[in-house]
Structure 1
Amino acid sequence: MKIKTKQIGVFLLGFAMMLGGLTNCKEKKEDNSLLLAAILYLNQGRAPGVYISGILVDENNQPMANRTVTIKGRGETPSVVRTGDATNSGYYKNVLSNTPFSTRYTAGEAAIATQCGAITGTYGATYPLTTNRRVICDTSTLAEEAKNAGILDSLVGSGEVVAQFTTNAEGAFVSQKFTLPNTGNTYTVEVEGAARNRRLRVARSGTSSLLTQSDIILGTNATPNEEVSTKYSFSIFNLIVEVEYPRPTRTLEGTLTSNVVIGPNEQVILQGTVIVPNGVTLSIGEGAKVFGSVSPGGALLVKQGGKLEAIGTATNPVVFSSEKAVGQRQPGDWQGIILQGNGIQTFGGRGSSAIGEGDVGSFGGNNNADSSGTLRYVRIEFAGAPFSPGNERNCLSLMGVGSGTTVEYVQCHRGFDDGFEWWGGAVDHKYLVSTANRDDQLDFTDGYIGRVQYAIAHMDINAVSSNDDTSRCVEGDGSTSNSCASTGRTPTNGNCADPWFANLTCVASNGNAVATSGTNLGPGWFVRRSGTTIPVGSISHSVVVGTTAAVSCNTGAGQEAVTKFGDITTTLGSVACAGGTALGGNSASDAITLTNVNITAPDWTPTAGTIAATGNLKTVGGAEMNQAAFDDTNYRGAINTGGTKWWDGWTSFPAN
């Protein structure tokens, strides 16, 4: 093992691309890759400070070349009040987005006042939660390292110039530094020759946005003369504000030789594949950020007998992500997490060893109660890597992982291949979120017999269309060898994967609409590769919307499979699998709708349709779903109508 500490520039990067609806501009069609490449190049080796980049355009979306831009303080905090409806009224933290807002601050008016100050507007009015107002407030804190580097979060006086620069021939400006390195403010943006100014919001965390005429600032400004209905004469595309400062960052490399602890809120880089071998534990505290290097590709490989203890909280999760700056991250930036246990896998024979996908070495044994550690309140994003066709690393790979392992409240987001993938083992799960991964959201094979309850699988059409394979919410192979003799469950102890899934919510989306088709989009639940009458998996009390079918069993020669299914609500017609087993009543062709299926701000709470099950889960199909690991639910899907949004606070859905 190599553990070293070095000084590197780490920047918190926030961005907002202002859409035509907010700026009264047409859609921008130019390729801005050269500007973004220049920003990345200039990011290296800069002094600590606050930097701004973007492309200045007029109301016709044409570049405004060689224009002088001046940014001045307004003596205001970045708290904002926006008008809205009673349903969405309330306090929201550190967001500035379209309806509906996704991060609601529920602690109440007194608590929000400690973060935002008194909720009193510039017009002398008070905006309580009961009115049709949304209060958006920056509740982030400025890192101590940033303060030590001279970056402040104090107010900038009205009219005080913080930056002045001139755009180039393409209207672009790159990495212009604020002369006053202050965050947590709003600013006036003046453009030479423009009839009307705009306002810029910069949060302490570095997030940024241009404000519109519908925003009312809560601050010291007494003359909000920009609150008019006329359109702006300029806008900024690819608006980026960066807060850059030096930060001591540990780097892990190679094979760990003893137990390693990553403390709460610590930041660490995985340089290449970091291996946790037999007898060694890697412990990660709440709020820690673990970044996978891009070159060589970072990965975390926990071998048989090794343990990963990554335990966050609902408000401070452990995050695994790309080392790239926010706004530049992509699926496959780093290579994800691989857990390898001594559980039973069946490729090559029940209880034998197999070589894992992604060139990660052998796994598997005869102990389905084996433990590889704990992952709780963990987010994994922009991971995975292709090695060869059908040989990829995923967001979270679970190879022969036993039931002694705890994996719950875990999100896989925008992975290069699958979100969660199981090869054998018997690990149980609750509260999984798999979003916008390029291939399947959940994938199992080779004797996996675990139990999964309360899983959300959300496919993004734009993500799956870039994949070279059909994508499903859940894909199940009886065996990767295309045939198996019988179920891997006790007492048969065969070699077919045969897990239980309950309370699954499966969604395919494209923008704000539920999709019915799309490139490479497949059914919600799909099984194959067992034998004509060999069952692969059981699913009940679930919701499927927007895919090409609810349940599909492959009938192709050599890859036949059937499944067991019951109590599924779907928008997709009949729920059927020729030769399969119907476990209970199904609500086919139900007009089920969810609150928001936009992948950038999802809310999977049902708003219409039938999600009340025909019976409690453990009564379905006799004893089929009567599993000790399951709660005995009486509704379909991962969340009940009016139920707790159990994903709120620890999940995130960034595009890059």
Structure 2
Amino acid sequence: MKKLLLPALLAFASLAAQAQTPCPAAGAVVSVGTGTSAVAGFEITSNTTWTSNNIYLLNGFVYVNSGVTLTIQPGTIIKGSLPNKGALIIRQGGMLMAEGTPTQPIVFTSNQPAGQRNPGDWGGVVIVGRAPTNLPAVTNVEGGVVATFGGPNANLPNDNSGVLRYVRIEYPGVDFLPNSEINGLTLCGVGSGTTIDHVQVTGSGDDSFEWFGGTVNAKYLISLAGTDDDFDTDNGFSGRVQFGISIRDPRRGDIATGGVSNGFESDNDATGTNNTPLTSAVFTNMSVFMGTTPAAAAPFNNSAGALIRRNSAQSIFNSVFAGRPFALELNSQTNGNTQTNAQSGALAFQNNVLAGYTPRVSRATGGSITGFNIRSFVGADNDTARTVVALGLNADNFAFEGNCTNNKSCAPAFELPAASILNTGAGFTNAKLTGAGNGGPNSTFDVVTYRGAFGATNWATGWTNFNPQITCYNVAGQTLSNREVVNAPLQALTVSPNPTQGAATLGFDVKRATVATVRVVDMMGREVATVLNAGKLAAGPQALALPATLAPGVYLATVTTGDAVQSVRFVVTQ
């Protein structure tokens, strides 16, 4: 979770500027909500079905009340309002039946047009259940949401909040209040009766997935180009998660003072108490990737593949980590000692491959307990000596949203090549995994031989979208990502550095000679500068200096040609 993130300063530094098959103008949508950002929002009070022949707009906070079921048909498009911070919240006792299919996924996305979408364009999806947490009192959900969870009456471990299957959530994560954000998918006290699988969160302005307590299990999760943490667990979450991947853009992350962005971040609670149940989630077969190009940009703080702290006892097995400064960080600076949990076996980290971490694969922070050595702990049961190349993965496995501009399909080949070292080495003998596939509490786990999220089959094929920036969402029922891409006059808009404290450069490629106008506008749409007025540009890369005297704030650099308009958001700091 993010701390003190500068409000509204989430820069999407690289927008894919491809043209695509013509997108019709947006037609009528079914607006659901109050049309304001008031937290009281709009309440759905009777069973409701959203159908795929409509496009829906979350026009503010939309609540599904207790005893009410919201059913969303396969292939339905739901957009979130930017000015009104649209969000869908399922309260305790409510149910969301969002069951897409591999060929008709359900899509929650930005209401902004293609080429102008950014992290934090809307709120996200919040599900609140009645499963146990370690919160002693009833607690408000983060992000200004009018819903509560936790406390002594949250005692239904098998609570059922519905189904979330074959679902994409794109550009969510609005900063509603300082230090109180909505994530892509927020799960508060959600029970194991709930089904969650095949969910992709892309371009979240905060965490992609966050669990606050609860017992829900999940499979087949994708976190793509998130801003803060990919998989965040707190408040006694004890579910089981298998097959997930995170792919980071090294130029984006938490820009808060002292903030860090991690693949995993896990706390028992905010102050590291001994409140029970301890956070003891078990993750297996996860892939946590961050490429080395482009170079990471300060002040974005992409830190650990997994940061486990504040008395958490979360365990990770059979996974692969590549990129970031550290694979594993155990932090014990607050009450309750995560290192003690590692020493006792309550926290396990085994059969993982940690590739390319030179010279340090792990670190212990906040002080160490007597007899505990982080390098020995990690080195005893994990493969720490591999390079990223030695993994034998396809190069596009590190392709974050935005760098696949020139790939027409933009669909990474995640299936393992036969020569990959990840094809073998998985183990399911630890007590936290035994019984996998054979009944009992671990029966949700599938026993596989490979490490990481993928084996010979690419379960991300078809229903996913790795470049939603260019996708047309104006036709009801059309939720598969656009595959037919034509040569665009503009390619790969970037602002560097981003954020900037002064001078910055707008870069882009022109595929053929054209005439362009380049303007800078603020977030109210007011033009503040003209960089180029009907200037002739030859084919090839372009680099235009942006004004160095802009006041601190968020801006759009907009390039207009005869057949395209593309924008990139950038931040000016003090």
Indicate the residue corresponding to 1:552 in structure 2: 329
Residues 584 and 312 (structure 1), Cα distance of their counterparts in 2 relative to 1, 3 Å cut: farther
Indicate the residue corresponding to 2:303 in structure 1: 522
TM-score (norm 2): 0.66
- Residues 1:477 and 2:267 are matched in the alignment: yes
Residues 342 and 540 (structure 1), Cα distance of their counterparts in 2 relative to 1, 3 Å cut: same
For residue 462 of structure 2, give the secondary structure of its aligned residue in structure 1. Answer: coil
Relative contact order (C-alpha < 8 Å, sep 6+): which is higher? 2
- Residues 1:651 and 2:461 are matched in the alignment: no
Report the CA distance between 1:269 and its aligned residue.
0.7
What are the residue-to-residue correspondences of 1:160-239 with 2, within 5 Å?
A: 203=21, 206=22
Indicate the residue corresponding to 2:100 in structure 1: 312
Higher strand share: 1
Match for 2:267: what amino acid? D
Residue-by-residue CA offset, 1:560-593 (whole Å, 9 max, x unaligned) = 4233110011212656764676697321121324
Match of 1:497 among 279, 282, 305: 279
Q: Is the Cα contact below 8 Å between 2:292 and 2:323 reproduced in 1?
A: no
Indicate the residue corresponding to 1:363 in structure 2: 149
Match for 1:507: what amino acid? F
What are the residue-to-residue correspondences of 1:62-461 with 2, within 5 Å?
A: 203=21, 206=22, 242-244=23-25, 247-253=27-33, 254-347=42-135, 349=136, 352-360=137-145, 361-364=147-150, 365-461=154-250
Cα distance in 1, alignment partners of residues 199 and 80 from structure 2: 18
For residue 243 of structure 1, give the secondary structure of its aligned residue in structure 2. Answer: coil
Cα distance in 1, alignment partners of residues 386 and 181 from structure 2: 37
Cα distance in 1, alignment partners of residues 120 and 378 from structure 2: 39
Residues 389 and 536 (structure 1), Cα distance of their counterparts in 2 relative to 1, 3 Å cut: farther
Residues 297 and 441 (structure 1), Cα distance of their counterparts in 2 relative to 1, 3 Å cut: same
Residues 536 and 263 (structure 1), Cα distance of their counterparts in 2 relative to 1, 3 Å cut: same
Report the CA distance between 1:359 and its aligned residue.
1.9
Q: Percent of aligned positions with the same letter in both sequences?
A: 33
Match of 2:421 among 583, 601, 610: 610
Report the CA distance between 1:300 and its aligned residue.
0.4
Report the CA distance between 1:610 and its aligned residue.
2.2
Cα distance in 1, alignment partners of residues 268 and 413 from structure 2: 33
Cα distance in 2, alignment partners of residues 313 and 583 from structure 1: 41
Residue-by-residue CA offset, 1:126-179 (whole Å, 9 max, x unaligned) = xxxxxxxxxxxxxxxxxxxxxxxxxxxxxxxxxxxxxxxxxxxxxxxxxxxxxx
Cα distance in 2, alignment partners of residues 336 and 622 from structure 1: 32
Residues 623 and 308 (structure 1), Cα distance of their counterparts in 2 relative to 1, 3 Å cut: closer
Cα distance in 1, alignment partners of residues 20 and 287 from structure 2: 36
Indicate the residue corresponding to 1:107 in structure 2: none
Residues 426 and 276 (structure 1), Cα distance of their counterparts in 2 relative to 1, 3 Å cut: same
Residues 373 and 16 (structure 1), Cα distance of their counterparts in 2 relative to 1, 3 Å cut: closer
Cα distance in 1, alignment partners of residues 309 and 80 from structure 2: 34
Residue-by-residue CA offset, 1:283-334 (whole Å, 9 max, x unaligned) = 1111100011122111101000101111111122100011111111111111
Residues 589 and 390 (structure 1), Cα distance of their counterparts in 2 relative to 1, 3 Å cut: farther
Match for 2:382: what amino acid? N
Cα distance in 2, alignment partners of residues 16 and 552 from structure 1: 34
Cα distance in 1, alignment partners of residues 101 and 206 from structure 2: 27
Cα distance in 2, alignment partners of residues 576 and 16 from structure 1: 36
Indicate the residue corresponding to 2:383 in structure 1: 587
Cα distance in 2, alignment partners of residues 390 and 438 from structure 1: 14
Residue-by-residue CA offset, 1:511-560 (whole Å, 9 max, x unaligned) = 478x7998301111111111xxxx52111100000121111101335474
Residues 647 and 614 (structure 1), Cα distance of their counterparts in 2 relative to 1, 3 Å cut: closer
Report the CA distance between 1:611 and its aligned residue.
1.5
Cα distance in 2, alignment partners of residues 306 and 579 from structure 1: 46
- Residues 1:630 and 2:445 are matched in the alignment: yes
Cα distance in 2, alignment partners of residues 604 and 544 from structure 1: 15
Indicate the residue corresponding to 2:544 in structure 1: none
Q: Is the Cα contact below 8 Å between 2:228 and 2:254 reproduced in 1?
A: no
Report the CA distance between 1:264 and its aligned residue.
2.6
Cα distance in 1, alignment partners of residues 43 and 432 from structure 2: 48
Residues 569 and 325 (structure 1), Cα distance of their counterparts in 2 relative to 1, 3 Å cut: same
Indicate the residue corresponding to 1:214 in structure 2: none
Root-mean-square deviation (Å): 2.6
Residue-by-residue CA offset, 1:64-118 (whole Å, 9 max, x unaligned) = xxxxxxxxxxxxxxxxxxxxxxxxxxxxxxxxxxxxxxxxxxxxxxxxxxxxxxx
Match for 2:142: what amino acid? E
Q: Is the Cα contact below 8 Å between 2:91 and 2:128 reproduced in 1?
A: yes
Cα distance in 2, alignment partners of residues 517 and 612 from structure 1: 36
Q: Is the Cα contact below 8 Å between 2:63 and 2:88 reproduced in 1?
A: yes
For residue 463 of structure 1, give the secondary structure of its aligned residue in structure 2. Answer: coil
Residues 615 and 652 (structure 1), Cα distance of their counterparts in 2 relative to 1, 3 Å cut: closer
Report the CA distance between 1:339 and its aligned residue.
0.3
Match for 2:393: what amino acid? L
Indicate the residue corresponding to 1:639 in structure 2: 454
Cα distance in 2, alignment partners of residues 449 and 583 from structure 1: 26
Match for 1:353: what amino acid? V
Residues 625 and 472 (structure 1), Cα distance of their counterparts in 2 relative to 1, 3 Å cut: farther
Cα distance in 1, alignment partners of residues 195 and 414 from structure 2: 24
Indicate the residue corresponding to 1:236 in structure 2: none
Match for 1:243: what amino acid? P
Match for 2:62: what amino acid? V
Match for 2:221: what amino acid? L
- Segments of structure 2 that go 5 or more residues without pairing to the other structure are 1-14, 34-41, 340-346, 365-371, 402-409, 437-441, 470-574
Report the CA distance between 1:616 and its aligned residue.
3.1
Cα distance in 2, alignment partners of residues 429 and 561 from structure 1: 24
TM-score (norm 1): 0.58
Residue-by-residue CA offset, 1:420-459 (whole Å, 9 max, x unaligned) = 0000000000000011110001100001000000011112
Residue-by-residue CA offset, 1:451-508 (whole Å, 9 max, x unaligned) = 00001111211221656521111100011232225xxxxxxxx331110000000001
Q: Is the Cα contact below 8 Å between 1:565 and 1:583 reproduced in 2?
A: no
Match for 1:586: what amino acid? N
Q: Is the Cα contact below 8 Å between 1:424 and 1:447 reproduced in 2?
A: yes
Q: Is the Cα contact below 8 Å between 1:516 and 1:548 reproduced in 2?
A: no
Residues 650 and 383 (structure 1), Cα distance of their counterparts in 2 relative to 1, 3 Å cut: same
What are the residue-to-residue correspondences of 1:462-473 with 2, within 5 Å?
A: 462-464=251-253, 466=255, 469-473=259-263
Q: Is the Cα contact below 8 Å between 2:272 and 2:334 reproduced in 1?
A: no
For residue 422 of structure 1, give the secondary structure of its aligned residue in structure 2. Answer: strand
Cα distance in 1, alignment partners of residues 20 and 144 from structure 2: 44
Cα distance in 1, alignment partners of residues 242 and 256 from structure 2: 27
Cα distance in 2, alignment partners of residues 267 and 574 from structure 1: 47
Q: Is the Cα contact below 8 Å between 2:282 and 2:315 reproduced in 1?
A: yes
Indicate the residue corresponding to 1:620 in structure 2: 430
The structure number with the bigger radius of gyration is 1
Report the CA distance between 1:622 and its aligned residue.
7.6
Q: Is the Cα contact below 8 Å between 1:370 and 1:401 reproduced in 2?
A: yes
Cα distance in 1, alignment partners of residues 173 and 17 from structure 2: 27
Cα distance in 1, alignment partners of residues 434 and 268 from structure 2: 18
- Residues 1:561 and 2:376 are matched in the alignment: no
